[in-house]
Amino acid sequence: MSILTRPILEINLNNLVANYKLLQQLAPRAEAAAVVKDCAYGLGDILVAQTLYEQAKCRCFFVAHGVEGAKIREVAPDARIFVLQGIGEDSLDDFISARLIPVISSKEMLAFWKEHKIPGIKPAIQIETGLNRLGFREHDLAQMNHEDLHEFGTVLSHLACADEKDHFMNQHQLDMFIYLKETYFPKLEATLSASDGTFLGKEYQFDIVRLGAAMYGINTAPYRENQMKPVVRVKAPVLEIANLPKGEFVGYSATYRATSNRKIAIVSIGYGDGIPRSLSNTGKVFFNMCDKLHEARILGRISMDNIICDVTDIDNLQIGDMADIISDYYTLDDIARDAQTISYEILSRVGKNPRYFRKIKYPEVIDF
Amino acid sequence: MSILTRPILEINLNNLVANYKLLQQLAPRAEAAAVVKDCAYGLGDILVAQTLYEQAKCRCFFVAHGVEGAKIREVAPDARIFVLQGIGEDSLDDFISARLIPVISSKEMLAFWKEHKIPGIKPAIQIETGLNRLGFREHDLAQMNHEDLHEFGTVLSHLACADEKDHFMNQHQLDMFIYLKETYFPKLEATLSASDGTFLGKEYQFDIVRLGAAMYGINTAPYRENQMKPVVRVKAPVLEIANLPKGEFVGYSATYRATSNRKIAIVSIGYGDGIPRSLSNTGKVFFNMCDKLHEARILGRISMDNIICDVTDIDNLQIGDMADIISDYYTLDDIARDAQTISYEILSRVGKNPRYFRKIKYPEVIDF
């Protein structure tokens, strides 16, 4: 028996690189850019960007904010780094020092850019095709003069429903993108799709595909089986095993009451570690013992540091055994379903607590 | 007009210290310990611990993990630092180097401690009184010998329902705590209550109160008006303002459709910044303009970096204006209600994204 207290976050960089390469093969004529915003979806932007730069020869990155781009520049000296939220007074210094490429989404931001142009940088323009988020609408484009239209090096838009293969919005946005691009930016490099759009087929891929969620192992094409390898696994040790007599309550606000005698395990991980509290009384953890897989239902509210689960039927469980929290048999996508959110939100949260013990599997073959 | 892209996290350390002192006055005979686990609920453990150590003379801290305690030791050289998840093989080095006090919750962990005792450290013992989480049950205590019972310096338990003043569990747990303490540890220093329990009255306060959530501004006694000052505010700039024609959709999966012509604002913050995605189509943001407060409903899904909101009725809104995301008029507690979770989870998530621009208000009077 071991006495252990810390949750473990395993990051498999081999699988990250394998996923990147698989997606690259799906879009052989496009440049495969890596989306490393939001700390690389929580995994660590430096770790992910450096791996993709060195092991997969990735030379194009997307971040959300200038401050994120400046960090990536440290490990990707000659890559293009696009900044999706664009440029402003609060990020100008980062753009200059790290030679970042702003994605410009409004005429006001374009005016700002024209006052603060950075020599050698051609910004991207984001155009709105149906998401109704950031981007120039057609009437904005129609009002732009020749000089403004030639300010840009790349034209970008973003799909709203690309995780549903037959959603009417996909074709609608594709048509709109082609129309606006051909009308206003016929010669520009173009990018429409993130991971999910990449799966929709060649006509959605254009010159750059922006690989994020799928590269991190998420199934962004849920209408088919996940082809991605898992990049993240989370485990946490059993701190205590106790009997729960019939009639007793479990956890905050006493939301679970035992209707028969149960055996419970207290596992050392909670919502502070990014496990969604909405899994309370609905999610589960797994124990893989002697190659037999046991499911243990979460009882009561998840707290900041602990999950309590029902291990009545698991005979040989010991203190120090590891519960699988995110695993091959209870994936990010499974958890997202049970927590009523999407895998992206869970991934983004899990990676950010520094108290995880991080086990990082580095690529085995360095062919750089 | 300003062009801005970054969300802002304001941390008011004046109010943190004021809250600590107010809670201290509520429990004048107890030592006021600060709970700084989970990065001080996301705010930054070093920042919070150093402020409380220097400005409020706090000399007792609680963390969840040894690795967290080791960080706190750097700014609190002579404080007591209790570690709630206890000690194990994966944290022993931190306990030795930082002279941490383990909270021991099982006989197995006690056996580990006896093999690895740290000279000069008296561990705490956690006893179970109704939460059915970590802690020795009575039958465990009944089996302990005299020597084991004298191993400890502090006896600790934790309340399950202290945010509900009249919940039957409160009196039940109090009675059980007093009974077990008097039976097995009559002379030991005792601690039962976190912030919420502190509000229940003197009989719940014992020798140490463990101040966490309320100190960070959360209303842990929701049956009365919040007496705490806000410690955290979050704002984010409007990146773009656009017309949304009747019939068009907003955001991922096209979950919102305009039933009339609307005006929308795209605000530069999302679930990557810790704003719960469950606020999609239900939450709101506020604009405080010329001292008039405007509410703007969130439309469609919140994405990783952006929130889209309805600003049809806000006449003078400009790009670069700041949306109040967490504020005095839409508090952490309000957001938690709308997001169907608790303030603790939101606070824990918001503070952890390094891309926030942090504005920290330091205590005005340094009387150290």
Digit-coded pLDDT (tens) for A315-341: 999 999 999 999 999 999 999 999 999
- Rg over alpha carbons for chain A, rounded to the nearest Å, is 23
| Local structure of residue B64 (DSSP, 8 states) | S
Please state, in angstroms and rounded to a whole number, the distance separating the CA atoms of residues A34 and A212.
Answer: 6
Using CB atoms, pick whichever of B65, B164, B277 lies closest to residue A341.
Answer: B277
Report ipTM (2 d.p.).
0.95
Higher pLDDT, A363 or A177: A177
CA distances from B84 to A268, A309, B124 (A): 11, 19, 9
- CATH classification at residue B270: 2.40.37.10
Structure confidence at residue B367 as a pLDDT band (50, 70, 90): very low
Answer yes or no: do A191 and A262 share one domain.
no
- Which chain B residues are Cβ-neighbours of A342 within 8 angstroms? 277
Shortest alpha-carbon distance between residue A366 and chain B (Å): 30
Q: pLDDT (tens digit, 9 = 90+) per residue, A135-145?
A: 999 999 999 99
Using CB atoms, pick whichever of A108, A266, A271 lies closest to residue B134.
Answer: A266
- Which chain A residues are Cβ-neighbours of B5 within 8 angstroms? 65-66, 85-88, 90-91
**Residue B44 pLDDT > 90:** yes
Answer yes or no: do A170 and A295 share one domain.
no
**Residue A166 pLDDT > 70:** yes
Answer yes or no: do B323 and B211 share one domain.
no
Please state, in angstroms and rounded to a whole number, the distance separating the CA atoms of residues B179 and A187.
Answer: 81
**Residue B268 pLDDT > 80:** yes
- CATH classification at residue B208: 3.20.20.10
Using CB atoms, pick whichever of A6, A160, A304 lies closest to residue B90.
Answer: A6
- Which chain A residues are Cβ-neighbours of B1 within 8 angstroms? 108
3-state class (DSSP) for residue B318: coil
| All residues at 6 or more sequence positions from B77 whose CB lies less than 8 Å from its CB, including other chains | none
Structure confidence at residue B362 as a pLDDT band (50, 70, 90): confident
Are residues A226 and A333 in contact, defined by beta-carbon separation less than 8 angstroms? yes
Residues B244, A305: C-beta atoms closer than 8 Å: no
Which residue in chain B is spatially nearest to A105 when comparing CA positions? B240
Q: Is A210 inside a domain boundary?
A: yes
Q: How many CB atoms lie within 10 A of CB A145?
A: 7
Answer yes or no: do B21 and B58 share one domain.
yes
Using CB atoms, pick whichever of A89, A253, A271 lies closest to residue B4.
Answer: A89
Q: Is A83 inside a domain boundary?
A: yes
State which of B216, B238, B271 marks the end of a domain.
B216
- Which chain B residues are Cβ-neighbours of A195 within 8 angstroms? none
State which of B183, B216, B249 marks the end of a domain.
B216
CA distances from B177 to A177, A253, A279, B27, B158 (A): 67, 18, 30, 18, 9
Q: pLDDT (tens digit, 9 = 90+) per residue, A284-315?
A: 999 998 889 999 999 999 999 999 999 999 99
Q: Is A71 inside a domain boundary?
A: yes
Residues A68, B264: C-beta atoms closer than 8 Å: no
pLDDT given at position B365: 53
**What average pLDDT does this structure show over B164-176?**
97
pTM of the predicted protein model:
0.96
Report the greatest alpha carbon distance in chain A. Answer: 77
**B282 part of contact set with chain A, CB < 8 Å:** no
For strand A154-156 and strand A124-126, is the pairing parallel, antiparallel, or unpaired? parallel
**A344 part of contact set with chain B, CB < 8 Å:** yes
pLDDT given at position A363: 78
Shortest alpha-carbon distance between residue B107 and chain A (Å): 9
Q: Is B244 inside a domain boundary?
A: yes
3-state class (DSSP) for residue A165: coil
Answer yes or no: do B107 and B166 share one domain.
yes
**A:B CB pairs within 8 Å:** 239
- Which chain A residues are Cβ-neighbours of B358 within 8 angstroms? none
Answer yes or no: do B354 and B316 share one domain.
yes
**A128 part of contact set with chain B, CB < 8 Å:** yes
Answer yes or no: do B72 and B201 share one domain.
yes
3-state class (DSSP) for residue A29: coil
Answer yes or no: do B45 and B187 share one domain.
yes
pLDDT given at position A365: 53
Answer yes or no: do A177 and A63 share one domain.
yes
Residues A38, B355: C-beta atoms closer than 8 Å: yes
**A123 part of contact set with chain B, CB < 8 Å:** no
Using CB atoms, pick whichever of B67, B132, B349 lies closest to residue A264.
Answer: B132
**Ordered alpha helix ranges (H), chain B:** 13-26, 37-41, 45-55, 66-73, 92-98, 107-115, 138-143, 146-149, 168-184, 195-198, 332-339, 343-350
Residues B106, A237: C-beta atoms closer than 8 Å: no
Please state, in angstroms and rounded to a whole number, the distance separating the CA atoms of residues B288 and B286.
Answer: 6
| All residues at 6 or more sequence positions from A328 whose CB lies less than 8 Å from its CB, including other chains | A230, A233
**What average pLDDT does this structure show over A164-177?**
97
The chain-wide mean pLDDT, for chain A, equals 96
| Local structure of residue B215 (DSSP, 8 states) | G
**Residue A367 pLDDT > 70:** no
Q: Shortest CA distance to A79 belongs to which of A109, A52, A114, A103? A: A52
pLDDT given at position B368: 41
**Residue B348 pLDDT > 80:** yes
Residues B348, A272: C-beta atoms closer than 8 Å: yes
Q: pLDDT (tens digit, 9 = 90+) per residue, A244-284?
A: 999 999 999 999 999 999 999 999 999 999 999 999 999 99
pLDDT given at position B186: 96
> Which of A107, A268, A304 is the best substitution to test chain B (most B C-beta atoms within 10 A)?
A304
Q: How many domains does chain A have?
A: 2
Answer yes or no: do B286 and B211 share one domain.
no
Please state, in angstroms and rounded to a whole number, the distance separating the CA atoms of residues B99 and A287.
Answer: 34
Residues A348, B90: C-beta atoms closer than 8 Å: no
- Which chain B residues are Cβ-neighbours of A160 within 8 angstroms? 249, 251-254
> Which of B193, B280, B309, B355 is the best substitution to test chain A (most A C-beta atoms within 10 A)?
B355
Answer yes or no: do A195 and A291 share one domain.
no
**A67 part of contact set with chain B, CB < 8 Å:** yes
Enter the tokens of residue B198: 């502190």
| Parent domain of A338 | 231-361
Using CB atoms, pick whichever of B112, B132, B272 lies closest to residue A3.
Answer: B112
**What average pLDDT does this structure show over B90-118?**
97
pLDDT given at position B364: 65
Q: Is B267 inside a domain boundary?
A: yes
| Local structure of residue B212 (DSSP, 8 states) | -
Q: pLDDT (tens digit, 9 = 90+) per residue, A10-59?
A: 999 999 999 999 999 999 999 999 999 999 999 999 999 999 999 999 99
Question: Annotated active-site positions of A, please?
Answer: 37, 252
If you write DSSP's letter for every residue of A237-281 in order, what string do you get? Answer: EEEEEEEE-TT-EETGGG-EE-SS-EEEEEES--GGGT--GGGTT
Which residue in chain B is spatially nearest to A8 when comparing CA positions? B90
Residues A271, B345: C-beta atoms closer than 8 Å: yes
Shortest alpha-carbon distance between residue A284 and chain B (Å): 17
> Which of B5, B129, B157, B261 is the best substitution to test chain A (most A C-beta atoms within 10 A)?
B5
Enter the tokens of residue A364: 């085995």
Answer yes or no: do A60 and A194 share one domain.
yes
State which of B164, B188, B216 marks the end of a domain.
B216
3-state SS record for B222-280: CCCCCCCCCCEEEEEEEEEEEEECCCCEECHHHCEECCCCEEEEEECCCHHHCCCHHHC
Q: pLDDT (tens digit, 9 = 90+) per residue, A55-80?
A: 999 999 999 999 999 999 999 999 99
Q: Is B357 inside a domain boundary?
A: yes
Q: Is B297 inside a domain boundary?
A: yes
Are residues A238 and A317 in contact, defined by beta-carbon separation less than 8 angstroms? yes
Residues B88, A4: C-beta atoms closer than 8 Å: yes
Enter the tokens of residue B41: 């609920």
pLDDT given at position A165: 95
3-state SS record for A44-91: CHHHHHHHHHHHCCCCEEEECCHHHHHHHHCCCCCCEEEECCCCCCCC
User: What residue has token string 């090096």?
Assistant: A153
| All residues at 6 or more sequence positions from A178 whose CB lies less than 8 Å from its CB, including other chains | none
Are residues A314 and A262 in contact, defined by beta-carbon separation less than 8 angstroms? no
Helix, strand, coil percentages, rounded to 5, for chain A? 30, 25, 45
Residues B68, A355: C-beta atoms closer than 8 Å: yes
Q: Is B65 inside a domain boundary?
A: yes
Residues B64, A355: C-beta atoms closer than 8 Å: yes
